[in-house]
Structure 1
């Protein structure tokens, strides 16, 4: 795929939060106290909710920027270089000499079976003064982690002051994974509040329907009063997810069926990033955006890491011109591939039709339900590869014929002389 087709067409998404180092250990069983276990494999990877949401948004084709406190430790430099290679902006991130936060995750063979040990040693969080140095006109969406209530409140107030009297507003989303009651005061300042399954269980909500009913009561004022309310989204693991719009109407959607789970760590990051992508870049309705987020979360379960999400081809339709964007002129060899990619990738996704003759990928595209993808990821990518392959094959044939004609002409000219 050519680079021009992957460019985001809107303003960047700013993710405010943390960046840490995660050590993942894949074990035959989760270690018990006073027991020695041997893991099957282990790996280091970039951690932190905001950093991983940036990564997934980038893979989906969105320009992103990370605002987090970064350590100057050599242990973090490889991850920072990876962010730089991914074109994730970190130039506004403050630095510290302290060692970065670490997290050790022991993952068992079954989905959701894991234990987590965090070691942040009171690692500093990004301050409001760092946020206030930014030019907010450069961003279209700001996503926060529910951490450091006082500093986050100051940052959100800065966005509200910027939005005051403007038609083009910056939208605010908040991910709540801990301290629900403490961060309630932030909800009315957000456009979207995303609540994790773990947070719902900690609150004593015993089901997805119960969780949605309790979230409706979070803002006590009756819905007959026209006051600012956020949209609530809550994920509930293998059961599915639910959403509540500003009018108080809620919908429950089932999870996608996955036959074999490969890696469940980071599904929440993918769910959040996909929801932001669907609302911001695709301009989907809340229920459709939630359905899209569930499918991306199911796709995450099928492979280790996040890189495979870049193959889903979910780039924004209806490209718009941007006077401030410098377009790179493709070379002659890339020009044909650019035209092919532009014609295919810029088509909108159709959720109402399903190609029954094609081999379905139920885990990603959703083989059940009334709304289905018109084309599965596998069929879509195969079509693109076949078109590009046929074009290159024809180019090689024409090149061979041209060389043969030139050689024949040269040979005939040599005979005449």
Structure 2
């Protein structure tokens, strides 16, 4: 891989030799509403979700979230509206130390949203996306001093503006690699591929082109971008890859018996592969690193704390400490927030400690007040009252919204309370 660094210039090699790089990601930023269901719903049916989580999403946002954990300085170039969802996304980026100065703001329109159904039987995810916001304008991108970045990664979308962005990148960058993700075929997109050094793609792109195997997709893309290294992720089957002028090679992925959550696994694969390339790994070694971290991601909810060891299942509380007069807030490894526990009609109720109005803990200001007559819990920040029975807001700024329920398992012998395994 040293030869690759020399190809892009000695400066790049010096800067990334320590393993850290400045990375600019250009693409989508989305608010994900994730619904965890016991099985995929049939058409024209109704069922209750076991859990609802709001999370930052979008391919490039996910890439950068993982790359930041891997030790790189990351910045995003995307668009945001001015609604509450946009504020939530900006806060999520800042909490993860992803720079936001290159975000383009629009007064009209609303934050893009993906509604994600996660099947708890097999971890699969089904996504419905709604967008009412423009993509990044070429003129906005042109103002960015891209020379200060060591790697540029683009989502293969917004084709009209992307053509100009890639032209600028090739004109002003002397040594920095440029990568692109091809997720869906778009008119004119493949005409731009001669500008890039690395192409990430996958099964969905191949099938959309009428190709049923990764080798055929790599050959197809080599004809359009002979200068590029091509990496094709094929889910549980691993990934295929080819350097310029070579045949495709396969890197298998270790089987995973029961995935927990596959949402963002492909984005994790791309990020880990880029990280390995930056740190001077060969293409084969980089793809292996991508497979390994993507597999690790599938064993947990969300993208945070990917480098931490998987937590051995431990009880979060014991029923002898849970009463109907006091809310008990406990940490919950693997979940995005702590959990509120309270007794109701001899049953333990559990909800994520997160007010849906502004994405803050219910006990942010002071303890959660319990009204034993109305059987409600009060958010200390927004004076919202939630029914203990079902978590529905019955008074306050998030009226009729719901706290996210958490499924529990209780050991009948010891009274130990666990987060349920699905």
Q: Same fold (TM over 0.5)?
A: yes
Say yes or no: does 1:135 pair with 2:145.
yes
Say yes or no: does 1:311 pair with 2:308.
yes
Question: What is the RMSD computed on CA atoms of the aligned residues?
Answer: 1.9
Alignment partner for residue 194 of structure 1, among 178, 193, 200?
Answer: 200
User: SS of 2:98's equivalent?
Assistant: coil
2:294: which partner in 1?
297
2:116: which partner in 1?
105
State the shift of 1:112 in Å: 6.1
State the shift of 1:111 in Å: 3.8
User: Which range moves more in the overlay, 94-103 or 196-205?
Assistant: 196-205
User: Which range moves more in the overlay, 153-162 or 82-91?
Assistant: 82-91
State the shift of 1:140 in Å: 0.7
Structure 1 Cα separation of the partners of residues 269 and 151 of structure 2: 16
* 1:353-411 C-alpha deviation (Å, 9 max, x unpaired): xxxxxxxxxxxxxxxxxxxxxxxxxxxxxxxxxxxxxxxxxxxxxxxxxxxxxxxxxxx
State the shift of 1:86 in Å: 2.0
Normalising by structure 1, report the TM-score.
0.67
Structure 1 Cα separation of the partners of residues 86 and 233 of structure 2: 31
Conserved 8 A contact 1:24-1:106 = yes
User: SS of 1:107's equivalent?
Assistant: strand
1:117: which partner in 2?
128
User: SS of 2:152's equivalent?
Assistant: strand
Sort the Cα spacing of 1:86 and 1:308 in 2 relative to 1 into closer, same or farther, 3 A. closer
Sort the Cα spacing of 1:131 and 1:148 in 2 relative to 1 into closer, same or farther, 3 A. same
The 5 A counterparts of 1:44-59 are 44-59=54-69
2:234: which partner in 1?
236
User: SS of 1:233's equivalent?
Assistant: strand
* 1:96-139 C-alpha deviation (Å, 9 max, x unpaired): 12210111111223446332211103x10011111111112210
Uncovered stretches (5+) of structure 1, i.e. residues with no partner? 1-7, 220-227, 313-417
2:342: which partner in 1?
none
Alignment partner for residue 283 of structure 1, among 280, 283, 299?
Answer: 280
State the shift of 1:257 in Å: 1.8
Structure 1 Cα separation of the partners of residues 188 and 66 of structure 2: 28
Conserved 8 A contact 1:209-1:252 = no
State the shift of 1:273 in Å: 0.6
1:316: which partner in 2?
none
Conserved 8 A contact 2:20-2:71 = no
State the shift of 1:9 in Å: 5.5
Structure 1 Cα separation of the partners of residues 307 and 87 of structure 2: 24
The 5 A counterparts of 1:5-44 are 10-44=20-54
1:345: which partner in 2?
none
Structure 2 Cα separation of the partners of residues 204 and 217 of structure 1: 16
Uncovered stretches (5+) of structure 2, i.e. residues with no partner? 1-17, 310-422
Structure 2 Cα separation of the partners of residues 180 and 134 of structure 1: 25
State the shift of 1:180 in Å: 5.3
Structure 1 Cα separation of the partners of residues 122 and 246 of structure 2: 32
1:92: which partner in 2?
102
State the shift of 1:231 in Å: 0.8
Structure 2 Cα separation of the partners of residues 62 and 111 of structure 1: 32
Structure 2 Cα separation of the partners of residues 214 and 158 of structure 1: 26
State the shift of 1:247 in Å: 1.8
User: SS of 2:305's equivalent?
Assistant: helix
Normalising by structure 2, report the TM-score.
0.66
Conserved 8 A contact 1:31-1:106 = no
Say yes or no: does 1:207 pair with 2:213.
yes
Structure 1 Cα separation of the partners of residues 131 and 89 of structure 2: 17
State the shift of 1:181 in Å: 5.9
Alignment partner for residue 153 of structure 1, among 163, 169, 175?
Answer: 163
Sort the Cα spacing of 1:72 and 1:9 in 2 relative to 1 into closer, same or farther, 3 A. farther
2:80: which partner in 1?
70
